[in-house]
Amino acid sequence: MRICIPTETDVGRKAIVYAHFGSAPYFTIYDSEKDAFEVIDNSNQHHAHGTCHPLGMLNGKHIDAVVCSGMGARAVLGLNGSGIKVYRVVGGTVEETIEKWKDGSFEEITVENACSEHRCH
């Protein structure tokens, strides 16, 4: 499984999870089968609310899930439309997030509980 986690830095396991998906400086992708990381620089991090294009940044990366603190409804719809589930995690590092993922203790983010503004979490 390939899990995308928005992060503040590009330091793999030790990176801090960024508060909001679309404006994250980096996307850290964890491949659970290979126990490997890939970091993508988010060149679309500075955008007006509701206009981010996460699929453009993740195109071709074969993501199965996104784990983040918050995300707007349009991003949720876009990811879900591509078969990617979205889950909520609050803070921590990539390493801590992966441990929580293994425990299966995440709430799914849906259109109904998505953010309506960048300051929602």
What is the number of other CB atoms lying within 10 angstroms of the CB of residue 26?
A: 19
- With 0-12 CB in 10 A as exposed, 13-18 as middle and 19+ as buried, what is 88? middle
What are 101-120's pLDDT values in tens digits? 888 878 898 887 787 654 45
Which pTM does this prediction carry? 0.83
What are 34-54's pLDDT values in tens digits? 999 999 998 755 444 444 555
CATH topology of domain 2-108: Nucleotidyltransferase; domain 5 (3.30.420)
Provide the pLDDT confidence category of residue 65 given band limits of 50, 70 and 90.
very high
The domains of the chain are located at 2-108
